Amino acid sequence: MKLLLKHGFPFYCDVYHDRYYCNTGLLCELNSHCYCNTLYATSFPSPLAFLSLDMADYLSAELTATCAVIGYFDGTTYHLDKNCLDVIKDLIRYLKRDDDTHTIRRFLGQTRLLQTDLVKILVHHVENIELWDVLLRLLINLTSSAFVIYNEQIPTEKTTYSLYQQIVSYLQEYKAALTDENVWVAVAGRLGNLLNIDSTERGEENELTIERILVFIRNVLQVPPNDNDKRADNDATVHDEILFAFHASGIVDILLFIVSNNKEQQYHMQILEIISLMLREQNASLLAASGLQRSTAERENDEASLVALRQKELREKMDKVKKYAGSRHSRFGGTYVVQNMKATGENQMICHKPYQKIEALEFGTNKKRVKRRKDKVSLQDTKEERTSALSVRLFLKEFCVEFLSGVYNSVMKFTRSCFINDPQGQAGETAVYLWALRFFMEFNRHYKFQVKYVSETISTQVFYLVQRQMEQYYEMILVDKKRIPLWSRRLHLALKAYQELLNTLMIMDKSTDDGVKESSKIIKSNIFYVPEYRETILSQLLCFDEVKMSRQYLLDLITTVHIFLKMLEHFCQKGQRHLIVQKVKAKRRKVKKRKKPTEENVTPAAPTLDERWDIVSLELSAVMRDAVIPVVVPFDATLDTPIDDQKTDAMKKIQKLMRQRNLEQAVGLLQKSGPRMTASEKWTYFPRKNS
C-alpha cells in the first residue's frame, strides 16, 4: 500500500504507483486518479491529522518515486519506462515551482539524475523527437547558472551562500558528466538536421529547438571551474575536454556555419556569447603563437617554473624542519641586545634570538590584527587565463583564424547594431561585444596583422562606444552598490578593449601601406583633438578606487595611460606638428563707439597771430570806447619783489586776460601799469605767439 494525497486528504493505492499529487506546498496539480486507477479513501477523524507528518519527507518520497520510473540502463542500451515522457514533464513542472531554497534542484543534483539517466536518454533516444525535445528543456533548467538562479547576486547570508555553493558543485558535476563525445554527437546531429531545413520552411517550433540547443551549449560552458581541481599548464581540464568534444563532434563547425550565414542572424548574438565562453581561459597572444613545436620561450618558461617550484618545496621543507626542531627552545640559552635601539625607558632592546637583518625584527607578532569590514575589503583579481593542452590550442587557433578572416566584421557589425538600437537592452550583450573586440583584435595583431580583418572595429565611432561604456559602468558602480564586483569586471573589460584599440593604432602607424597610415592619422586626430576622447583615460585614473576596483585593473589602466601618452608625443613631434589642445576663448572688451565727426564738432584750424589780433583789435576798440574800465592795482609796494620784476608779471597777466577775452580787466591793468612802462615794453609783452 502507498500513501496518496488528494485535496489534502490521505488516500491509499494497493498497486505500486508512478506518482501522486498534493495540493499543499509545491505539488499542487491534482489528478482524480492514480495511474493504476485504484484509489481507496480512508476515514480519518480530521483532515488536519496528516499535517503532523514532515513535508520534506513527502517531497523526498514524491521525487524519489518520480525519478525511479524513468527507465534503466543495462550497460548497453537505456530502456525507457512507458511513462518516461510524463515523468520528465513533471520534473520540469516541479522545478518551475521550486521554493526559495531550491529544494528540488538540490535533490536532483544529490541523486545524480542527470549523470545516471538523462545523459543516457539524450544519447540513445535521439530518434524520439518528442521525448528528446522535452528532455532538452529539462537539461536547460538543470544546467542554468547559479548566478542567474539567484538573480545575479551572490548571497551574503551564511546559510544561503552554502546552498549557492552546493548548487555550483552540482553544476560542476554535470559539466564533468557532459564531457562524453557521444552526447555532443547526438546534439550536433539534431542541430544539423534542423539547420538543413530552409529558414522559410523551418517553423516556429524548430526555431525554438535550435535556440534551446544553443542555450544548452552556453549553460554547459559557463559553469565555473572547480577550485579543488586545478591543473597545471598544458594539462587538460574539464573545460578543455568539453571543447575537444565540441571539436570532435562537429559542434564548432556548425557554429561557424551559423555565423557565416546571413539568414541566421537571429542566432549570431548567442553564438558570439558561446565563443566568448569557449575562449575565456585563453590568452590571445599565446594562442596566436601556438604551433606544433614548442618555442624556445615556452621551454624557458617551463624550466623556470619548475625551478621555482623546486625551490619553494625545499624552503617549505626546511621551514618545517626548523619549526619542529626548535619547538622546545630554552629561554635559558641567553638573550640578545639590539644595538642603538632603546626599549621602554632607558633600557636596551632585548630579544631572544639573533636576527641576520634588523628588518626581520617585528614588534607586532603578538598583536591581533583588526578585521576589515566587508565593504572595505579590496576587490580580488579573477585571473582565468591558463595554457590549455596543445591539441586544444591548435584547433582553437584554427577556429579563431577562420572566424577572423570570414565572419568577424559582419558579426561585430550586427552585434553593435543590436545594443545601439536598444540602449535599454541587456548589459551582457555589450560585455560580450567588448570581449570579442579585445580578444580578436589582439589575436590579429600577434598572428598576421591585416587591417581588413578588423576594419569594422577600427573607427572613431568604436572609440566613442567604448568610452561611453566605460563611463556608464563607472556610474553603475556608484549607483548599484549591491553588484559592484559585476560592474567593476565590466569596466575592466571595457578598459582592455580601449587599450587594444590604441595598440592597433600603433601597429597601423608601422604599416607600409599609406592608406592604413592615413586612416590611423585621422582616428588619432579625433581622439587627440576632441576633449571628450582625450580626457577619458585621465578621468578613469582620477576616479580609481582600490576598494571597488582590482589591482589588475590599476595595472592595465596605467599601461593604457602610458600607451596614450606615447602616441600623443609621437603625434605632436611628427612633422613639427603643433597640437592645439584647447582653444581659450579671449574675453572681449567693450569698445566704445566713436561718434562720427559732424560739422559742429569739427575743430577749425588754429588762426595765425595776425588773424587773432585783427579779431581782438575790433573788440578792444569797442571796450576802450564804450565799456567801463575797472580800477586795478598792478603793483604791490609792500612786497620785496622789485618793481621791474613786477612789470614782467603784470605783462604776462595782461596777455593771459586778452587770450581769455577778458578785455576790460586787461585794459584796466594796462592803463595803471602804463606810467611805469615805456612804449617798447608795452608792445614787447603784448601777445605775439602761442604759449
Among 463, 490, 496, smallest CA distance to 549 is for: 490
Under DSSP, the state recorded for 379 is P
Q: Is 560 exposed, middle or buried (0-12, 13-18, 19+ CB in 10 A)?
A: buried
| DSSP string for residues in 128-147 | -HHHHHHHHHHHHHHTS-HH
Is residue 35 predicted with pLDDT exceeding 50? no
Q: What pLDDT is stored for residue 432 in this prediction?
A: 92
Question: 680 vs 380, 526, 674, CA distance in Å?
Answer: 113, 89, 11
Is residue 632 predicted with pLDDT exceeding 80? no
Q: What pLDDT is stored for residue 419 in this prediction?
A: 75
Does residue 234 come out as left (phi exceeding 0), alpha (psi in the -120 to 50 range) or beta? left
Give residue 52's pLDDT band: very low, low, confident or very high (50, 70, 90).
very low
Residue with cell 619542529: 324
Distance CA 395, CA 405 (A): 15
Q: What sign for the dihedral angle of Cα 537, 542, 547, 551?
A: positive
Q: What pLDDT is stored for residue 183 in this prediction?
A: 93
Give residue 9's pLDDT band: very low, low, confident or very high (50, 70, 90).
very low
Is residue 274 predicted with pLDDT exceeding 90? yes
SS3 content of the chain, % helix, strand, coil (to 5): 60, 5, 35
Give residue 135's pLDDT band: very low, low, confident or very high (50, 70, 90).
very high
Give residue 293's pLDDT band: very low, low, confident or very high (50, 70, 90).
low
**Cα Rg, the chain, nearest whole Å:** 48
E runs forming strands in 241-335: none
Q: What tens digit of pLDDT does each residue of 593-612 get? A: 555 555 445 556 667 777 77
Distance CA 476, CA 468 (A): 12
Q: Which three cell numbers stand for residue 299?
A: 621551454
More reliable by pLDDT, 33 or 280: 280
Q: What pLDDT is stored for residue 289 in this prediction?
A: 85
Is residue 144 predicted with pLDDT exceeding 90? yes
Is residue 348 predicted with pLDDT exceeding 90? no
Is residue 228 predicted with pLDDT exceeding 90? no
Q: What tens digit of pLDDT does each residue of 306-323 get? A: 888 899 999 888 888 876
Q: Which three cell numbers stand for residue 214?
A: 544553443
Q: What tens digit of pLDDT does each residue of 483-528 get? A: 888 899 999 999 999 999 999 999 998 888 888 888 888 888 888 8
Contacts within 8 Å (CB) and 24+ apart, 607-612: 609/687, 609/688, 609/689
Q: What pLDDT is stored for residue 339 in this prediction?
A: 83
Is residue 536 predicted with pLDDT exceeding 60? yes
Q: What pLDDT is stored for residue 31 in this prediction?
A: 36
What is the SS3 assignment for 83? coil
More reliable by pLDDT, 375 or 435: 435
- Provide the CA 74 distance to its chain's centre, in angstroms: 52
Q: What pLDDT is stored for residue 5 in this prediction?
A: 41
Q: Of 8-17, 30-39, 401-410, 590-599, where does the model show the most confidence?
A: 401-410
Q: What mean pLDDT comes out for the span 324-336?
A: 64
Among 495, 490, 498, 471, smallest CA distance to 428 is for: 490
- Range from 333-347, 445-459, 464-478 carrying the lowest mean pLDDT: 333-347
Q: What pLDDT is stored for residue 1 in this prediction?
A: 35
More reliable by pLDDT, 193 or 34: 193
Residue 315 CB neighbours (<10 A): 10
Q: What mean pLDDT comes out for the span 284-300?
A: 78
Q: What pLDDT is stored for residue 574 in this prediction?
A: 56
Residue 669 CB neighbours (<10 A): 22
Output phi, psi for 35, to 5 deg.
-60, -30
Q: What mean pLDDT comes out for the span 344-360?
A: 79
Is residue 402 predicted with pLDDT exceeding 50? yes
Q: What pLDDT is stored for residue 163 in this prediction?
A: 93
Q: What tens digit of pLDDT does each residue of 194-216 get? A: 999 988 888 899 999 999 999 99
Q: What pLDDT is stored for residue 58 in this prediction?
A: 77
- Provide the CA 304 distance to its chain's centre, in angstroms: 34
Give residue 3's pLDDT band: very low, low, confident or very high (50, 70, 90).
very low
Question: Is the Cβ–Cβ distance between 249 and 191 less than 8 Å?
Answer: no
Is residue 676 predicted with pLDDT exceeding 70? no
Question: Is the Cβ–Cβ distance between 523 and 464 less than 8 Å?
Answer: no
Q: What pLDDT is stored for residue 397 in this prediction?
A: 92
Distance CA 189, CA 177 (A): 19
No. of helices (H) and no. of strands (E), the chain: 28, 7
Under DSSP, the state recorded for 584 is P
Q: What tens digit of pLDDT does each residue of 414-461 get? A: 988 887 766 555 677 889 999 999 999 999 999 888 888 998 999 888
Angle 238-249/158-177 helices, nearest 10 degrees? 40
- Range from 142-146, 148-152, 231-235, 306-310 carrying the lowest mean pLDDT: 231-235
Q: What tens digit of pLDDT does each residue of 12-33 get? A: 343 333 333 333 333 333 333 3
Is residue 62 predicted with pLDDT exceeding 80? yes
Give residue 295's pLDDT band: very low, low, confident or very high (50, 70, 90).
low
Angle 158-177/103-110 helices, nearest 10 degrees? 40
Q: Is 138 exposed, middle or buried (0-12, 13-18, 19+ CB in 10 A)?
A: buried
| DSSP string for residues in 13-64 | ESS--S----SSSS-----SS-TT---EE---S-GGGGGGS-HHHHHHHHHH
Q: What sign for the dihedral angle of Cα 608, 614, 615, 616?
A: positive
Give residue 618's pLDDT band: very low, low, confident or very high (50, 70, 90).
confident
Percent of the chain with pLDDT over 70: 79
Q: What pLDDT is stored for residue 648 in this prediction?
A: 77
CB neighbour list of residue 277: distance below 8 Å, 6 or more residues apart: 218, 221, 222
CB neighbour list of residue 480: distance below 8 Å, 6 or more residues apart: 487
| DSSP string for residues in 489-511 | HHHHHHHHHHHHHHHHHHHHHT-
- Range from 172-186, 249-263, 376-390, 674-688 carrying the lowest mean pLDDT: 674-688
348-351 and 336-342 beta bridge pairing:
antiparallel
Question: 154 vs 150, 160, 257, 301, 483, CA distance in Å?
Answer: 7, 9, 37, 37, 9
Q: Which three cell numbers stand for residue 385?
A: 587565463
9-13 and 2-6 beta bridge pairing:
antiparallel
Is residue 367 predicted with pLDDT exceeding 80? no
All structural domains of the chain with their residue ranges? 58-230, 231-293+386-453, 458-580, 609-674
Residue 344 CB neighbours (<10 A): 6
